[in-house]
Amino acid sequence: MEPHSSIYQSTMEIIVIAKQVKMADSVKCDFAGVEAAIRLKRKTDARIKVVVMGEEKDAIAQVRDSISMGADSGTVLLLENAEIDSWICAKAFSDYLKNENFDLLLSGSFPIDADTIQTGLLAGNMLGLASASHIEDIDTGEASGLLKAKKRMEDRVQILDVKMPCMFAALPHPEAPIYKTVPGINRAYSVDIPVIKLDLNDQKGKIKVMDSFKIGERKRGKCLTAISTEGAAKEIINTIAANHIL
Amino acid sequence: MNFQLDEKRLALQAAVREFAQNELAPGVIERDEASEYPLELYKKLGSMGYVGLPYEEKYGGSGGDYLDYALAVEEISKVDASMGISYSVAMSLYGGSIINAATEEQKLEFLPDVFSGKSLGAFGLTEPNAGSDAGGCVTTAEKKGDKYVLNGLKCFNTNGPLADHFAVYALTQPELGAKGLSLFHVKKGTPGFSIGKIENKMGIRAAQVSELIFENCEIPESALIGEEGKGFKYAMKALDGGRIGVAAQGLGIAEGAFEIARKYLMTREQFGKPIYRNQHLAFKMAELECEIEMAKYMVYKAALDKSEGRPYTIPAAKAKLVCTNAAMHVTTEAVQMLGGNGFMREYHVERMMRDAKITQIYEGTNEIQKLVISGALFK
């Protein structure tokens, strides 16, 4: 999809999308996407733009928080009193993004659309991007134009080589929070944050969520001690076979 | 008059709070017991720009102001008062001493490492016989050619064992007493300079406090900060700033203990009801809440007075007096309200009570603050 790709020579262009979800007495903000982007930016030269959909005050606050953590710029897609489903949400994001240049599109995995993990993947699909969810880690690939992503499964990880531009839904890393910095806060409160009003009145929802399930907690592995090398190898082969990996 | 912090300050306050809760709170009890300072966490705070908050970027600071700094000391001290005082001493006393009097060249040489949090700074004024009477110092700095030779002993130096940079006050003209006091920058490792006894303290036990010993310690004449004989004035000015830091530390300790007590009163049940439903305790909390809010306004005002170029000696003394008394009062009441649990280490308030005591003593005892305040009343 050339129209969406920057000419990634030295600076990777990353766009992070996040949809705020209203809870009983608060707004649930999703920072997993921007945290994944910042982790990648620490490994390679990259520029991060966050696009947050929500009501003005809370969405601007989320953009500012993201910039304080390390994003470079942000935009608000203003959602006023509209009850929308994941499809409408993804359509709104993709309509905005089709005019943007980027190499990587990121979203969070859970809070973005009340734990159904659909919005980011749907938007990626609408833009014709290779997409993957439950991404734990992203690295630059061995060949130019590729990203290497670690996708978490129930009982294993998959290492994916994905051609850019692409879309990943990133998992949060609560064990390694990314803090706001003073230069980040200074930038967040000095940049302009454009607010684009969305007109979604004639949009009809297409998705009915019947149920959703979070990925299960990873089981603790088995540590083989006091065992011969041959015995350990046999045990590993048996475990792999029992899990249908072989 | 506006009592509301703006959005940017609120964001900064929330960011330091998040760091303190996530990074400083785990292990705070163990560090207190072992008297271990979390230098790596301090450096991490520095790497994010939170250490040099009140100073210009060209000196390694973050370009904020003294209110930003006071908010950071407050948030850190809610969780770990030892880190609070270490930070305050490095910024207000070491940083204040150098920034107020040094040449531009000296500032660029002696400040960036400390303001960026890569290393700590310490302040050597107090001596065994020169506490509240700071003019009674006997440490000397004798001029010999193009060097000064320091001899003497400084005590109760926060950050002493950990610091790389020291602001040291010594007599260049001993016969003049306080008017013969001068300020010097001394680097760690200078021959003739050593760390003496490391104190075993009642509170702020994770902070490292020690003697500084000078035995024929030669420093270049370029280490003289400002003018000879102006040291006492420089020290008092640095201490004015330091009092804002200690006031913020006291406020943080009070708030930390108050919040622990508030949650405890809501969850602890006796006689079939949460104990906050005993009016005596609820009213006690109402009084403490007012005391904390008064303290908060006083230290924020003193910090803004300093930031905006107004005289701040008296506001700083008032804030130090009120905030540190609030720290002592609130923590003592919190221990009492938590009953037997309050006396136990895992509930934190006993540590906070021990930490609070020193805030009424250092950076000028609270009796000295009353001298400063009353002195201005009866000029």
pLDDT, tens only, A171-214: 988 888 999 999 999 999 999 999 999 887 777 777 777 776 66
Q: Which of A64, A179, A188 sits opposite B19 (nearest CB)?
A: A179
Nearest chain A residue (CA) to B49: A182
- Cβ pair A182:B64 closer than 8 A: yes
Residue in B closest to A65 by C-alpha: B11
Residues 6+ apart with CB under 8 A from A238: none
Whether the CB-CB separation of B179 and B229 falls below 8 Å is answered with yes
Q: Which among A31, A42, A180 is the top mutation candidate for probing chain B, defined by the most B β-carbons within 10 Å of its own β-carbon?
A: A180
The nearest alpha carbon in chain B to A174 belongs to: B22
Is residue A15 over pLDDT 90? yes
Q: Does the beta carbon of A42 lie under 8 angstroms from any beta carbon of chain B?
A: no
Report the distance separating Cα B190 and Cα B230, nearest Å. 24
CATH numbers and ranges of domains, chain B: 7-115 (1.10.540.10), 121-229 (2.40.110.10), 233-377 (1.20.140.10)
Q: CB distance A68–B53 less than 8 Å?
A: no
Tell me which of B104, B350, B363, B367 is the catalytic residue. Answer: B363
A221 located within any domain: no
Following DSSP, what letter does each residue of B117-147 receive, concatenated? TSS-EEEE--BTTBSS-GGG---EEEEETTE
Q: Distance from B285 to chain A by nearest Cα, in Å?
A: 27
Residue A60 lies in a domain: yes
Does A219 fall in a domain?
no
Nearest CA in chain B to A189: B8
Can you give the pLDDT at residue B4?
A: 93
What pLDDT, on a 0 to 100 scale, did the predictor assign at position B284?
A: 98
Rounded to whole angstroms, what are the CA distances from A221 to A156, A175, A186, A217, A239?
Answer: 11, 19, 44, 12, 11
Cα angle vertex B229, ends B223, B230, to 5°? 85
In a domain, A224, yes or no: no
A111 CA: distance to closest CA in chain B (Å): 21
CB-closest option in B15, B22, B63 to A180:
B15
Q: What is the CA radius of gyration of chain A?
A: 20
Residue A215: the pLDDT is 63
Euclidean distance between CA atoms B221 and B143, whole angstroms: 8
Contacts of B62 in chain A (CB under 8 A): 182-183, 186
**Chain B residues touching A181 at Cβ < 8 A:** 15, 48-49
Element of type H or E holding A119:
helix A119-126
pLDDT in tens, B207-247: 999 999 999 999 999 999 999 999 999 999 999 999 999 99
Helices A119-126, A86-97: axis angle to 10 degrees equals 50
Instruction: Report the DSSP pairing between strands A104-108 and A12-19.
Output: parallel
Asked whether the predicted pLDDT for residue A110 surpasses 90, the reply is no
Cβ of A64 within 8 Å of Cβ of B11? The answer is: yes
Q: Indicate the residue of B8, B15, B62 with minimum beta-carbon distance to A179.
A: B15
Nearest CA in chain A to B20: A179
pLDDT digit string, tens, across residues A61-97: 999 999 999 999 999 999 876 677 888 889 999 999 9
Which residues of B fall within a CB distance of 8 Å from A179? 15, 18-19, 48
Q: Do A182 and B50 touch (CB under 8 A)?
A: yes
In this prediction, residue A128 has a pLDDT band, given cuts at 50, 70 and 90, of very high
Asked whether residue A212 is domain-assigned, the answer is: no
Domain of A82, in residue numbers = 2-197
Helix axes B313-337, B349-359, angle to 10 degrees: 150
> What's residue A210's pLDDT?
73
In angstroms, the CA B190 to CA B153 distance is 15
- What is the mean predicted confidence (pLDDT) over A45-53? 96
Whether residue A165 has a cis bond before it, omega within 30° of 0: yes
Residue-level pLDDT at A145: 87
Report the C-alpha gap between B209 and B60 in whole angstroms.
Answer: 25
pLDDT value of position A216: 63
Q: Please check whether residue A108 lies inside any domain of the structure.
A: yes
User: Which contacts (CB < 8 Å, 24+ apart) does range A207-214 have?
Assistant: A207/A85, A207/A86, A207/A87, A207/A118, A208/A85, A209/A85, A209/A86, A209/A114, A209/A116, A212/A115, A212/A116, A212/A117, A214/A110, A214/A115
User: What integer pLDDT is reported at residue A24 of this predicted model?
Assistant: 65
Q: What is the dihedral of CA B175, B177, B181, B187, to 10 degrees?
A: 80
CA A151 → CA A107, A245, B179, B288, distances in Å?
A: 14, 16, 70, 52
Q: Provide the pLDDT for residue A1.
A: 45
Residue A182 near chain B (CB below 8 Å): yes
Percentage of chain A beyond pLDDT 70 is 85
Among candidates B11, B22, B62 on the partner chain, residue whose Cβ is nearest the Cβ of A180: B11
Portion of chain B with pLDDT greater than 70, in percent: 100
- Known active-site residue B363: yes
Domain holding A108: CATH number? 3.40.50.620
Measured CA to CA in angstroms, residue B216 lies from B127, B143, B155, B165, B183 at distances of 17, 12, 18, 18, 17
CB contact residues (below 8 A), chain A span 54-83, against chain B = 64-65, 68
Residue A28's pLDDT band, with cuts at 50, 70 and 90, is confident
**Whole-number pLDDT of residue A84:** 76
* Count of the separate structural domains present in chain A: 1
- Could you give the CA distance from residue B297 to residue A238 in angstroms, rounded to a whole number? 68
A-B C-beta contacts closer than 8 Å = 38
* Segment-wise mean pLDDT, segments of 10 residues, chain B, 379 residues: 92 97 95 97 97 97 97 98 98 97 98 98 96 90 98 97 98 95 98 98 98 98 97 96 98 98 97 97 98 98 97 98 98 98 97 98 96 96
